[in-house]
Structure formats: structure tokens, C-alpha cells
A and B are shown apart, each in its own frame.
Chain A
Amino acid sequence: MLFLAELGDKTQLAVVTMACKTKAPWSVFLGGSAAMVLVTLLGSFVGGYVTSYVPVKYLSIAAGLLFLAFGVMILYQSLNSTD
């Protein structure tokens, strides 16, 4: 169920681009997997509490800004590089 839902999802695309960009696929795999397992753990056991205590809205805003900053940074670097 989740395997199918996540294939081609934005998260997997982020993993693909990170692995492309950093050329360190195993580091991306380790960091990415750890994040997914932790999120799943929170979802399995404290899902209800997380959404009522942790402001998901702020987490989402932080994630959005992080992606934007990363996009700007990558574009800036690649357009200024000579190769």
C-alpha cells in the first residue's frame, strides 16, 4: 500500500535528486531511510498526539522553505559553474 503510494512521490523524487546531486547514494539512503522510519514510528504510535501537539502547519512551512532554499542554492551553483 505505502510502497505503491510512495513510488514516484515527491519524497522519492527528492531522494533521486539528492543521490544525483551529491553522488553519495548510500549516504542519501541512510539519511532518507532513518527519516522515514522515524516518521512511521511516530505515525504508528503517537499519530493523534503529534497532530494535536506539534504544529504540523509550521513543520510544513519549514519543509517548503527548505526545499525553496535548496532549489535556489542548486540553481545558483549550477548556473555559475563553468563545466
Chain B
Amino acid sequence: MDWRVVGLTFGMLFLAEMGDKTQLTVFTLAARTQAPWSVFFGASAALVLVTLLGSLLGDVITKYIPVKYINIAAGLLFLGFGSVILYQTLIG
């Protein structure tokens, strides 16, 4: 287990998801149903599954596409995400 990768992924996703539409949905569901534990378990299961699929997909992709191209695409993708998040926060 690469703990640096664990920490990095945790930090990025935590910051990206705080206050995001997903968390707001969870908050709304918890408030509306008055069953926070049920909402927590259902939502956590969904998000963990989505994360699992993403991790495995990434693993498969590296077997077919050269790392250099993946890195360039990843770099551009992160630049895009960062720009969108900042734009939405500061202007949108």
C-alpha cells in the first residue's frame, strides 16, 4: 500500500467533494427523511463502489495506453478541473 498515494487521493477528493452537489444531496436526503444513518450507509456504499470502479478502470487503461499519453491527458484533465472549480467558486 502506497500511503503517499492514499493521502494524496484522500486530500484531493475531500476538498473537491466538500460542499459539492453530492454532499448537498446527502444533506437534503438526511434532512428530508430524518434517517441520517440510512442515508449515510446508502450514500457511502454508492460512493465507495464508484471509487472502486474508477480505480480498476484506471488500472486497466494503463495496460493499453502508453503512460506518456496518459500523463499528458491527466495533466490537461486536472488543469481543466482546477479551472472549472475556481471559475464556479469565484465567478459562477
Contact = CB atoms under 8 A, between A and B. Distances in A.
B25 A5 contact: yes
Interface residues of B, number: 75
Contacts of B70: 17, 20-21
Chain A, interface residues (CB within 8 Å), range: 35 or more
Contact of A71 (B26, B77, B89): B77
B19 A51 contact: yes
* A interface, over-half SS: helix
A67 B12 contact: yes
A71 B76 contact: yes
Interface of A: 1-3, 5-7, 9-45, 47-48, 50-51, 54, 56-57, 59-79, 81, 83
